């Protein structure tokens, strides 16, 4: 089954404790992205990656890091989480960035993060 998986689904942590949220897709997609969803603000893009070893900042990258060492994985790293990073996080992947027929993003189930 084609899917995007995220782990963990729920996480409660404390300020300053480094954490990683994993994202994996089994569709051989080149494009992957991380979003955070906050009430009234919709989804805001944190980082995206157009291929292995190619990443770029989205609209709200501060406080986050990403890496893309393999095509299928795109982990989100919070080196020193703060309470303002409490949010719902979504990973997504897409199979054609260059204006092809599809250009549709497939979303993971989300990770609800609480930073105390």
Partner 1 sequence: AQSVAQPEDQVNVAEGNPLTVKCTYSVSGNPYLFWYVQYPNRGLQFLLKYITGDNLVKGSYGFEAEFNKSQTSFHLKKPSALVSDSALYFCAVRDGENYGQNFVFGPGTRLSVLP
- Interface residues toward partner 1, by CB under 8 A: 4, 33, 35, 40-45, 48, 50, 56, 58-59, 90, 92, 97-99, 101, 103-110
Min dist. Cβ of residue 96 to partner 1 (A): 10
Q: Name residue 57's beta-bridge partners.
A: 47
The closest alpha carbon to 49, from 73, 28, 31, 69, belongs to 31
Question: Between 40 and 62, whose beta carbon lies closer to partner 1?
Answer: 40
Closest CA to 49 of 63, 77, 69, 21: 69
Residue 19 or 107: the one with the smaller Cβ distance to partner 1 is 107
């Amino acid at each position: 089954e084609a899917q995007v998986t995220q782990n963990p689904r729920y996480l409660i942590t404390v300020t300053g404790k480094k954490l990683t949220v994993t994202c994996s897709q089994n569709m051989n997609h080149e494009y992957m992205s991380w979003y955070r969803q906050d009430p009234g603000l919709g989804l805001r893009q944190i980082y995206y990656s157009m291929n292995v070893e190619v990443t770029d900042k989205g609209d709200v990258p501060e406080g986050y890091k990403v890496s893309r060492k393999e095509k299928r994985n795109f982990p989100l790293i919070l080196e020193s989480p703060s309470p303002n990073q409490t949010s719902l996080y979504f990973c997504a992947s897409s199979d054609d960035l260059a204006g092809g027929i599809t250009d549709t993003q497939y979303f993971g189930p989300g990770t609800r993060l609480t930073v105390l």
